[in-house]
Amino acid sequence: MTQLKFLSQAPRFLFFTGKGGVGKTSIACATAVHLAEAGQQVLLVSTDPASNVGQVFGISIGNQITAIPRIAGLAALEIDPQAAAQAYRDRIVGPVRGVLPDAVVKGIEEQLSGACTTEIAAFDEFTALLIDSAMTAGYGHIVFDTAPTGHTIRLLQLPGAWSGFLEEGKGDASCLGPLAGLEKQRGQYKAAVAALADPKRSRLILVARAQLSTLREVARTHEELDAIGLSRQYLVINGILPQAEAAQDPLATAICQREQLALATMPAVLEALPCDLIELKPFNVLGLEALRQLLTTTTATPHTEAITPAIQTPNLSTLVDDIAINGHGLVMLMGKGGVGKTTLAAAVAVDLAQRGLPVLLTTSDPAAHLGETLVGVLDNLTVSRIDPHTETERYRQHVLETKGAKLDTQGRALLEEDLRSPCTEEIAVFQAFSRIIREAGKKFVVMDTAPTGHTLLLLDATGAYHREVARQMASGIHYLTPMMQLQDSKQTKVLLVTLAETTPVLEAANLQADLRRAGIEPWAWVINNSVAAATVHSPLLRQRAANELREINAVAHQHAKRYAVVPLLQDEPVGVGKLLEMTRPPLRKP
């Protein structure tokens, strides 16, 4: 195997981080196998809520160190973030239950219900693996699937006694709750963060796909980690279609061209990083043989004239037919980064507008080309663009001028730090969205980049934080009105966007569970960029199409009440005509 840069002189700790569906679990597993077969003692650790490490190896792992059969020197551990978060909540809430009023306890539980708590609880579990301990003493390498985010590390670096701050009633903002009771572990956390920042001991590997949007997100992650001292990073761009697959296949040719454009125009901050390219493989990365082949260069598959025709599945137009019946309403597209929900929101908006219905497309996506393409093209389609940075800064200033004015110097410093969290941006953007939600009573409002279930739970909490947010809503808008509308399936239709791959489907299922906890029932799922829904000649893409069928079947029969599949298109869906191809794909002859 050609030596990859991220494996060269590998330090003891290797962290793989990236969005769902980019292949970080597969690459982490393949790395662990490679190091173990080179004679090292290796521990593979997953903190991913949708972990499929056990599935990759074909065994049950769980929250205990488990030897991997047939690989001497390799063991694995799956930290269950949800179980860790529940244990964490119990440690914090248990001592005050029956002591504090029930309403206060419920407020604490709500604050501890979201993603911030899960992140920190998982970090609490694996910090023990970053310091010298009997449990890890025998391992030369520890490989982590899903590193902590810069947000989590920044919170754990904060000074001060969090418990006392909370007990005095000064800290009821979005991410302060999860830090209650951390003072006892602060020494361990400090040592763990120091290990992460030491390039002789740790290496962070950013995993991405050769897509413009994905590379932009990775660039933001790089800058966030760099800002807190984790500057020694590597970049792995996974799943690049081999050029040989483009022969006599227009779809494969288009994919290759898009990927080469993304690589040629990647953000400048990524160009300086050591970078490895890993080719797309025709097989699912399950089992040892697949893992051994993942980090190698694929031998070109002989060309064949055989084709794989597109499968017959509901298309997006079928969903739009049902949405259009009421003549107005709120349509929200939710999903993890990189699944294409911004473009799908534009496609739904265009399809509704083409039917003669008034539509407002609301997005916080920084890619202005959608607005430039749509505005003025259809008379009954308008675009409202929300700038997350502007809205977040406005929200921060308002909170500091109101709540912050009542705090002492230490309290104000802690509040300022908390207002830098991702939760703050979500809430600020939601407030901006809520100001236009009422327009859905007379037209269609199609909303992209919707808030997560975690944010909605915070906004609907019954404690002090809920009341504070309610007071901060724009003048004239009742706080409960947007929440009640989101929870009313007659007024709001939530579309969950995913890809026909294992991790994105699991992540969408987790988001669905989060939304249900907030009283919001997703109306439909949309599987985007499906190879199985396209007609392909490339042998590699034909195999990928076959691999998608299991995930499509899982969505159809396990997760979704209704669903649609959008095929992977040859051309970028920019402009009315191309966007309509997403909802009404043209019939293609084999």
Distance CA 243, CA 268 (A): 25
The Cα-based distances of 205 to 83, 191, 208, 402 in angstroms read: 26, 21, 10, 41
**Residue of 17, 18, 26, 117 with catalytic role:** 26
- Percentages helix, strand, coil for the chain, rounded to the nearest 5? 50, 15, 35
**Residue of 18, 21, 329, 453 with catalytic role:** 21
Q: Are residues 359 and 382 in contact, defined by beta-carbon separation less than 8 angstroms?
A: yes
Distance CA 85, CA 14 (A): 24
Told to judge if 62 belongs to the known catalytic residues of this protein, a careful annotator would answer no
Told to judge if 296 belongs to the known catalytic residues of this protein, a careful annotator would answer no
Residue 473, C-beta contacts closer than 8 angstroms, at least 6 positions apart: 431, 434, 479
Rounded to 5 degrees, what are φ and ψ at 531?
-70, -35
Cα atoms in the Cβ-side hemisphere of radius 13 Å centred on 535: 12
Told to judge if 48 belongs to the known catalytic residues of this protein, a careful annotator would answer yes
Identity of the amino acid at 227: A
- DSSP secondary structure letters along 26-68: HHHHHHHHHHHHTT--EEEEE--TT--HHHHHTS---SS-EEP
Q: Are residues 421 and 116 in contact, defined by beta-carbon separation less than 8 angstroms?
A: yes
Told to judge if 21 belongs to the known catalytic residues of this protein, a careful annotator would answer yes
The Cα-based distances of 553 to 94, 529, 546, 548, 549 in angstroms read: 42, 16, 12, 9, 6
Residue 358, C-beta contacts closer than 8 angstroms, at least 6 positions apart: 328, 380, 442, 443, 444
Query: Cβ-count burial of 473 within 10 angstroms (0-12 exposed, 13-18 middle, 19+ buried)?
Result: middle
Told to judge if 98 belongs to the known catalytic residues of this protein, a careful annotator would answer no
Told to judge if 24 belongs to the known catalytic residues of this protein, a careful annotator would answer yes
Give the CA dihedral 251, 254, 255, 258, nearest 10 degrees.
-160
Residues in the chain: 590
Residue whose token pair is 């906004």: 459
- CA nearest to 308, candidates 568, 539, 549: 539
Told to judge if 442 belongs to the known catalytic residues of this protein, a careful annotator would answer no
Q: Are strands 202-209 and 13-17 parallel, antiparallel or unpaired?
A: parallel
Distance CA 108, CA 181 (A): 13
**Residue of 18, 19, 20, 23 with catalytic role:** 23
**Residue of 503, 530, 538, 583 with catalytic role:** 503
**Residue of 17, 19, 20, 48 with catalytic role:** 48
**Residue of 18, 19, 20, 24 with catalytic role:** 24
Distance CA 15, CA 4 (A): 15
Strand partners, 74: 42
Distance CA 189, CA 350 (A): 50
Residue whose token pair is 């660039």: 219
Residue whose token pair is 């392909």: 536
DSSP-derived 3-state class of residue 536: strand
Distance CA 88, CA 86 (A): 5
Residue 306, C-beta contacts closer than 8 angstroms, at least 6 positions apart: 537, 542
- CA nearest to 316, candidates 527, 501, 509, 511: 527
Catalytic residue annotation: 21, 23-26, 48, 503
